Amino acid sequence: MKLFPDKLEANLKKALLPVYFFSGDEPLQLGESADAVRRHARKQGYTEREVMHAEKGFDWNELLSASNAMSLFAEKRVIDLRLPSGKPGKDGGAVLAEYVERPPEDTILLISSGKVDKRSQSAKWYKALDTVGVTMQVWPVETAEMPRWLDQRLRSRGLQPDRESVRIIAERVEGNLLAAAQEVDKLLLLNGPGPLSAEQVEAAVADSARFDVFGLVDTALAGDAARLTRMLDGLRAEGVEPILVLWALTRELRSLADMAAQIESGKGLDGVLARVWGKRKGPVKMGLQRHNRARWQQMLRRAARLDRVIKGAATGNAWDELLQLTLLMAGVQLFRAAG
């Protein structure tokens, strides 16, 4: 059965199933979901645990051998299988399908996997796992959903936050669930259960926002100037080299200039966006609607000058220049045009 992460705990309290398959690229939710299965299993006498890593070169027959081998003391056990790639391959798929045909008694197969694509979800092995057990995908929490996620986690720990305290934490740990979980635990340790104010949060929460250069590009295209400035400050504080930021921006500027040229030659916007990955369609569309080909080419020339600044061949401050370039991408008018 397909399950969402927030429904897992209630499902585990009902009964333990022979197979749990958790997949995704968000480590906190993936790890906590696996921990929940192991915790409930221990309570019900599953005291033995065998860990397997299904990486390159893994012999899938080891899983069948483990499932067929009786425990020395006939104890209940958990087979903890790690599948980082999310793809078991032909041999692995066949073994998993065979395993669920006759799942061994007193054994739980717990699989923690990387992201599983739609094609794999239609495969025989995946459907077989879903038939006899739980399949669950975990996803990164979007920025807009972070306050709700934080509020629920704080309250589950006995804290009673006000709206402003939740907003501050969400802003400081932007996109980083591991950092958010750590801050919640720290707030509980410092203040104990009960009401939580914005002042208490301000005093305790470190700026753990995770900023990356690709997120910076999409934020610029979305036109969010305030967040863009914070992200650049974060990258600078983390010691990211300006040349790496410029590389990501330049690559995107070339792509946008090319797409804008296609639009000006008569190709429809939807057709141009067909080559853009799903979640990026929104920001890229906003950028293309904001600037024409000439403007993207102008920004490319600015990027070329910035490259000389970084290499010491032209005067200027690299981080100031990066801020101006990204603000231009976001549609901010830096200087008033001469009348």
Q: Which of 229-243, 268-282, 316-330 has the highest mean pLDDT?
A: 316-330
Q: Which pLDDT band, with edges at 50, 70 and 90, does 337 fall under?
A: very low
Say if CB 38 and CB 63 are below 8 A apart. Answer: no
Among 105, 99, 106, 97, smallest CA distance to 65 is for 99
Segment 9-15 mean pLDDT: 92
Q: Is the dihedral of CA 71, 73, 75, 79 positive or negative?
A: negative
Q: Which pLDDT band, with edges at 50, 70 and 90, does 338 fall under?
A: very low
User: How is the chain split among helix, strand and coil, in percent rounded to 5?
Assistant: 60, 10, 30
Q: What is the pLDDT of residues 300-331, one digit of tens each?
A: 999 999 999 999 999 999 999 999 999 999 99
Say if CB 181 and CB 213 are below 8 A apart. Answer: no
User: Which residues 6+ apart lie within 8 Å of 137 measured at CB?
Assistant: 22, 23, 24, 115, 116
Q: Which pLDDT band, with edges at 50, 70 and 90, does 140 fall under?
A: confident
Structural domains in the chain plus CATH codes: 5-138 (3.40.50.300), 143-204 (1.10.8.60), 213-329 (1.20.272.10)
Q: Can you tell me which residue has the tokens 């309570």?
A: 43
Segment 266-280 mean pLDDT: 82
User: Which residues 6+ apart lie within 8 Å of 94 measured at CB?
Assistant: 60, 125
Segment 234-250 mean pLDDT: 89
Percent of the chain residues topping a pLDDT of 90 = 55
- Paired tokens of 76: 């209940």
DSSP 121-185: HTSHHHHHHHHHSEEEEE-PPPGGGHHHHHHHHHHHTTEEE-HHHHHHHHHHTTT-HHHHHHHHH
At residue 262, does pLDDT exceed 70? yes
User: Which residues 6+ apart lie within 8 Å of 12 measured at CB?
Assistant: 36, 37, 40
Provide the mean pLDDT of the chain: 88
Q: What is the pLDDT of residues 49-73, one digit of tens each?
A: 889 998 888 999 888 888 777 644 5
Q: Which pLDDT band, with edges at 50, 70 and 90, does 176 fall under?
A: confident
Q: What is the pLDDT at residue 80?
A: 93
Full-model pTM: 0.64
Say if CB 16 and CB 44 are below 8 A apart. Answer: yes
Q: What is the pLDDT of residues 186-214, one digit of tens each?
A: 899 888 999 999 988 888 766 555 667 88
Of 186 and 253, which is predicted with more confidence? 253
Q: Which pLDDT band, with edges at 50, 70 and 90, does 335 fall under?
A: low
User: 47-60 burial, b if ≥16 CB within 10 A, otherwise e?
Assistant: ebeeebebeeebeb
Q: What is the pLDDT at residue 86?
A: 87
74 phi-psi bin (left φ>0, alpha ψ -120 to 50, beta other): left
Distances 215 to 131, 168, 210, 254, 259 between C-alpha atoms, Å? 38, 20, 10, 17, 20
Q: What is the pLDDT at residue 209?
A: 57
Q: What is the pLDDT at residue 177?
A: 87
